[in-house]
Amino acid sequence: MSATATQLLTAEEFLLLPENGMRRALVRGEVEETMPPGGRHGNVALKLGGRIQAWVEAGAGGCAGVESGFILARNPDIVRGPDVFYVRAERIPTEGIPEAFWTIAPDLAVEIVSPSETAEDVRAKVREYLDAGTQLVWEVYPRTREVVAYAADGSARAFGPADTLQAPELLPGFACRVSEIFA
C-alpha cells in the first residue's frame, strides 16, 4: 500500500484559489477552512480595529487593518489573516500597502477567539505570529471579556474588563478600556 503525498501550496498559489465563502488560512502549505465568524466576532473586531485606526490617524502613523493576509513562513508557506493588525510606518514597503499578501509579519496581530476554536488552534496561531517576528499578539475572548497579550520576549499578560489595554513600547499613546470593545 502506498500513501498519496499531499500537494503543498505556496502563498502565491493560495492567493489564486477561487473564493468559496469560507475563511481560509495556509498552514504549512495546506489550506485550512473555517466558517465565517459570527456577529459578535465582527463587532468586537470593528470596535478594537476602529480604536487602533483612530490612534493611527491621530498621528501615530503606520497601517491598521483587518483580515489581510500575511506570509509568516516559507517552505512550507504559512499565510494568516489576523482579525485586526497594525504595521509600523517604517516597516511598510516602499511601494506601499501590498495588493496581495504582506510579506512581513504584522507588528501587532489580534485574534478574536471564536466558540469553535480550540485552545490548541489559538496557541498555534500565536506561535506562528511570534515565530515570524510579530512583536505582540492579542487574543481576545468575547465570552469572558478578556484579552491576553503575548509579547515577543515570551511574556504574557491578561487584561480584564476593568483594565486598560495598552502597549507603550509598540503603540505609544494608545489606550482602550477592555470593556469598551465588548460594549
The confidence score (pLDDT) of residue 5 equals 54
31 located within any domain: no
CA-CA distance, 49 to 67, in Å (whole number)? 11
82 secondary structure, DSSP code: -
pLDDT, tens digit (0-9, with 9 covering 90-100), for 30-74: 777 777 777 889 999 999 999 999 999 999 999 999 999 999 999
21 located within any domain: no
Question: Where is 89: in which H helix or E strand?
Answer: none
CA-CA distance, 106 to 98, in Å (whole number)? 13
Q: Which of 63, 176, 38 is nearest to 117 (CA)?
A: 38
The percent of residues in the chain predicted with pLDDT above 70, rounded, is 97
115 located within any domain: yes
Domain count, the chain: 1
* 8 Å CB contact between 43 and 173: no
pLDDT, tens digit (0-9, with 9 covering 90-100), for 65-80: 999 999 999 999 999 9
51 located within any domain: yes
- Specify the CATH number for the domain of residue 71: 3.90.1570.10
